[in-house]
Structure 1
Amino acid sequence: MDDRKTAVGYVRQSMGRPDGSASSVRAQVAACRAEAIGRGFRYEGAYVDEATSAYRSGSARPGFERMLNDVRHGHVDVIVVNYLSRLSRQDVGTARSLAAELHGLGVTVVSVTEGVYGPADTEELVRRLEAAHQESVNRSRHVSDTKRILREAGSWVGGLPPFGYAVTEARRDGLTIRQLVVVPEEAEVIRDVVRRILTHKDEEVSAGRRHPGSLSGICAELNARRVPTKTARLAGKWRAAGSADAKGQRAPSLWEASTLKRILRDPRLVGHAVEPVYGPESAGGPGVRRSVVGYRSVVDPRTLMPVMSHEPVLGVAEWEELQTWLDTRGRGKSGPRAGSLLSGLGVLRCECGATMVSNGTIGATASYRCSRPKGATGGHDGGNSIKREHLDEYVVQRIFAEVSHADQGRRSSVELLAEAGARFGSAADLVSRAKAYEVGEWKSASLTEKRDFLSCFIDRIEVAKASSRGNKWEPYDAGRRTIVVWAAPRMRQ
């Protein structure tokens, strides 16, 4: 009998790094494994959270939560991390709660670089975690102060410059000032797009014809002419959407209507200094970094005029006319994607690799369709869609069938149910829920409850293009076109 203590690694990285630095996921996994084995533990793999903060209180860390769940069920004796800051950078109250729980369960924390913290070392572990929190606070304050000083000096403090511009640097009063300068070839693309929109914006087009001034039509033409986006230009090459290079890296994106609209909405096109506009906090929960959804002009409080910071690409009059036209571009007839069952799971894919999104409202025409940009090459020809209610029903019935097969002792179904139960919290509770759903409670369950249930069983759903035009509306076609990738154990590396 192996009486060694069971050790797992926990690895976290706030941002992806293309280099091989010591903080990369791969390097952390290797260091944790070597430390555990070197100390004589039975190493069971690592839990990984990528592009995840341990500083923001609302930040989701699924790997961390799975690890805690296994700790609470008595499956872990030792947690190995590269640095203690990988566990937590939150305030002392949160750090104390975490340390007390781990040590109360008899778990020892081992840091590759900072030593061992057993159940008798709770206060020292709390002190170390509090130091990590204070480091994050200081760093955040320093970054904010630096950006404010540079912004007041007229410097560009963003990341990738907007389409139409590049960044140059100059020293001024001891500061490195970054300024936007026009990229002629990109600026001409913008001017040509705006000319087309304003020229054709009032034209009526007969049914079946693409409007010459529509955003989708313009994007299709840009892709057909192989006009590169900003990322494609910086990469120095053009590749078909969804393709990959020899290293498996995804190709630069193609033009999409949403991307083009965001570019045309940007006040920087008329030379204005801007400040970001953030999405609602509720979209990510309290404490989560909100995404930037746009930019607004910075106004001088004395003159009440926009602050000019760089050379414009468009004139003010044509830009304002453009904004008036964009204001009339509604969301169309499509219902909100968040209201559909499978597109909200984040696992629904087309056979070409693109995401399948919800299209249309509830009813006969509601479907999931491939979101691949128009003009993309490779993969299927034309679009790919499937009736929403048919695919939803097929996937749900497949799950009910797997639960039934597990009851009959089928090995693959038993293994699936074990993994799904671990995600749900209890296999017995999950089976009880599945059987209640199967006999009629599914229709009355909330959308969130349904998604939580499905996500326990499924890692990926892939839909192939229909073999003929009419088949996408046939119920039987869902089974012929759909591949369900069942849940696989997540914790083992």
Structure 2
Amino acid sequence: MLRLAVGYARQSKKKADKSEASPQTQDEAIRRKAPERGCRLLKIYRDIGVSGYDPTVKRKDFEQLLNYCRQNEVHEIIVYNITRFSRREPKDAIPVVLELFSLGITITSVCEGSFSPDNTMELIMLIMRIDAAHQDSKNKSEAISDAKRLAKQFGGWTGGVPPYGMESYAQSVTRVLDGEPVTVTIRLLRPVPRNEDGTDQASIALRMVDRIFEFKDKPWSGKKNGHPASVSAVVAWMNSAGWVGQNGAAWRTPTAKRILSDPRLAGFAAETVYHKDSDGNPTRTLSGYKMLRDEETGEPITIGEALIPPARWFELQKWLRGREWGRSDTPWSEKVLTAMGVLKCECSRPMTGSPRLYKCSRPPGVVEEGKHAGGNTINLADVDDYVARRIMAVLMTAERDEETLDTLAEATRRLAKLRENPAARGERASLVGERREITNDINRLYDDLKAGIYEGKIGRARFLQEKETLEKRQAVIERRIAEVGGPELPALPIAEWTYTEDPNGDPLGEGSWWQKADTADRRMLVSLFVDEVRVRKAAGRGGRNRVCRVEERVSVFMAKPKHEEHEAQESEGQVALSESVSAA
């Protein structure tokens, strides 16, 4: 009777290559080996794009293979070589081997022979093979890590495909390490040479950036996703002009956004960050970039020349983030309150503008349980007037109560952000994002500890090591945030905003700031002082003598500090903020 066997193939890279360990080669060798061993091959389990060295990576098919062996009669597992079975430390791999041996299963390597459960010497040989595979991977990993670490210390690029519009070049540099001069050859990045016809990658990338800066601060009355400075609109413009993308293909929005978001275009070192699957394993789908920083100072590491000046790149990132989150300082339309994320219907939907009305954006005919029936509209001019008067009331009674002072303090902080240097603002946003990621990593580490993943002496040591590493990174980021500091806090121009020539002193009357201000300035004032404007549906139709009871229908929630908006503020900044508001 033929023995029953299952195969297992694994490759760290998802794409097939010409190496002897490619998935196709492994499959063919396993199929040939099965009849030589007197076995009928039932199935081949395959983990492609999965490391056999990293103990934190989950091998789905390998786990399925083990479960199949536990539940069914299997006599043999066939692999191409032992490195496909495992590259992990023997202490991690041996329990799996012993379990398979207890089930009477022989492990066969096409290249190294068979290891049966009833032969002690073969068990010892298998353990030695596993240890050799682990040491080989460990040595390679340490060599690569050391090379990359040294390159980072010397300000070098750590390899891979150069970013779009950039090329790498070699340069010898000398640094003092541990008191001794060390000279190494590192690779740096610089923009690719320019062509006269502007078809080189650097010129095309700059053309996209210039297009965004040409239009991003101009008013736009059309649909938001049609704004000429949006990435999708820039891509459409590039394609219509015949500027081809990589490999001669047409431009796509995700590709353009990925290029424009790359910190390496500004001369900063960065690592690519990939999305993770449901098991927490990295996929091949890019989610963004992580800017690399000096371990001691927290400052960005530079890796050569910049294609986009850092200050301009940081300002570009602010625009891209604003587009992604649906928020921006750009006046999207001529309406004061629309497209700012401020004006909301009582059903929580945003309200849109028409020539004379603000209206709920719920599509006609759509019914939502527990929400208002039919539409919800309100006179546009009356709402604008009501919101403006609420703001003026705060400005003209600045010293009256603590709640008003809180609103003024938050408005001061927001005005400071608007006037701040884009490079400082961008770096702080990057630092705050990194701090958030580290905090999440620490929380996940403690969750794993609570779940028992780090049980035992070795597990406890690994937990403490990872905890120390994360806390060290957190301290560096916190120190750098303090060094970057907050924006310089200005005094609010209250006298300018409340100025009026109206004989009755009306702050919105004839000759007032509000009356003279254009839509962009009015929107700016609203963004400083208002968090939300909520509109309730009218109790009934107005009849012949329609009156907009705006005071009864509209609630204005004035600006209040939010945790996520204060994440870069230190205690000194809070004191300075209070002093600035008091002076104002």
Equivalent residues in 2 for 1:146-161 (5 A)? Answer: 146-161=147-162
Q: 2:216 aligns with which of 188, 201, 210?
A: 201
SS in 2 for 1:330: helix
Residue equivalent to 1:136 = 137
- Cα distance, 1:309 vs. partner? 3.4
SS in 2 for 1:113: coil
Residue equivalent to 1:181 = 190
Residue equivalent to 2:312 = 318
Write the letter of the residue equivalent to 1:319.
W
Counterpart CA distance in 2 for 1:321 and 1:36 is 62
SS in 2 for 1:90: coil
1:100 and 1:264, CA in 2 relative to 1: closer, same or farther beyond 3 A? same
1:16·1:24 contact (CA, 8 Å) conserved in 2? no
Residue equivalent to 2:49 = 51
Q: Deviations over 1:352-374 (max 9, x none)?
A: xxxxxxxx9xx979xxxxxxxxx
Equivalent residues in 2 for 1:18-29 (5 A)? Answer: 18-29=16-27
- Cα distance, 1:317 vs. partner? 3.9
1:300·1:306 contact (CA, 8 Å) conserved in 2? no
Would you say how many aligned residue pairs link Structure 1 and Structure 2? Answer: 314
Write the letter of the residue equivalent to 1:212.
P
Unpaired runs of at least 5, structure 2: 175-182, 195-199, 328-361, 368-584
TM-score, with structure 2 as normaliser: 0.48
Task: State yes or no: 1:328 paired with 2:310.
Answer: no
2:11·2:21 contact (CA, 8 Å) conserved in 1? yes
Residue equivalent to 2:128 = 127
2:4·2:42 contact (CA, 8 Å) conserved in 1? yes
Counterpart CA distance in 2 for 1:267 and 1:61 is 33
Counterpart CA distance in 1 for 2:295 and 2:55 is 35
- Cα distance, 1:314 vs. partner? 2.0
Counterpart CA distance in 2 for 1:332 and 1:97 is 52
Counterpart CA distance in 2 for 1:286 and 1:19 is 22
- Cα distance, 1:284 vs. partner? 5.1
Q: 1:294 aligns with which of 289, 311, 318?
A: 289
Q: Deviations over 1:197-231 (max 9, x none)?
A: 1121122132498221111111233344453434x
Q: 2:72 aligns with which of 56, 71, 74?
A: 74
Write the letter of the residue equivalent to 1:11.
A
Residue equivalent to 2:12 = 14
Residue equivalent to 2:111 = 113
Counterpart CA distance in 1 for 2:98 and 2:301 is 53
Equivalent residues in 2 for 1:217-296 (5 A)? Answer: 217-230=233-246, 232=247, 238-239=248-249, 255-272=251-268, 274-276=269-271, 278=273, 285=280, 293-296=288-291
Write the letter of the residue equivalent to 2:69.
V
Which stretch has the larger CA shift, 103-112 or 291-300? Answer: 291-300
- Cα distance, 1:144 vs. partner? 0.2
- Cα distance, 1:52 vs. partner? 1.2
TM-score, with structure 1 as normaliser: 0.56
Counterpart CA distance in 2 for 1:281 and 1:327 is 21
Write the letter of the residue equivalent to 2:208.
V
Which stretch has the larger CA shift, 259-268 or 185-194? Answer: 259-268
1:325 and 1:16, CA in 2 relative to 1: closer, same or farther beyond 3 A? closer
SS in 2 for 1:126: helix
Q: Percent identity?
A: 34
Q: Deviations over 1:240-293 (max 9, x none)?
A: xxxxxxxxxxxxxx5443432332233322323x14375799975499999773
Residue equivalent to 1:216 = 232
1:57·1:288 contact (CA, 8 Å) conserved in 2? no
SS in 1 for 2:128: helix
RMSD of aligned Cα (Å): 3.6
Residue equivalent to 1:94 = 92
Counterpart CA distance in 1 for 2:127 and 2:295 is 47
Counterpart CA distance in 2 for 1:224 and 1:163 is 21
1:58·1:288 contact (CA, 8 Å) conserved in 2? no
2:34·2:40 contact (CA, 8 Å) conserved in 1? yes
1:164·1:190 contact (CA, 8 Å) conserved in 2? yes
SS in 2 for 1:147: helix
Write the letter of the residue equivalent to 1:217.
A
1:57 and 1:227, CA in 2 relative to 1: closer, same or farther beyond 3 A? farther
Residue equivalent to 1:65 = 63
1:19 and 1:171, CA in 2 relative to 1: closer, same or farther beyond 3 A? farther
Counterpart CA distance in 2 for 1:6 and 1:209 is 59
Q: Deviations over 1:348-406 (max 9, x none)?
A: xxxxxxxxxxxx9xx979xxxxxxxxxxxxxxxxxxxxxxxxxxxxxxxxxxxxxxxxx
1:11·1:48 contact (CA, 8 Å) conserved in 2? yes
1:96 and 1:262, CA in 2 relative to 1: closer, same or farther beyond 3 A? same
Counterpart CA distance in 2 for 1:172 and 1:257 is 39
1:193 and 1:5, CA in 2 relative to 1: closer, same or farther beyond 3 A? same
- Cα distance, 1:13 vs. partner? 0.5
Counterpart CA distance in 2 for 1:56 and 1:213 is 43
- Cα distance, 1:15 vs. partner? 1.0
Counterpart CA distance in 1 for 2:302 and 2:125 is 53
Q: Highest Rg: 1 or 2?
A: 2
1:27 and 1:300, CA in 2 relative to 1: closer, same or farther beyond 3 A? closer
1:171 and 1:27, CA in 2 relative to 1: closer, same or farther beyond 3 A? farther
Write the letter of the residue equivalent to 2:238.
L
SS in 1 for 2:323: coil
Residue equivalent to 2:502 = none
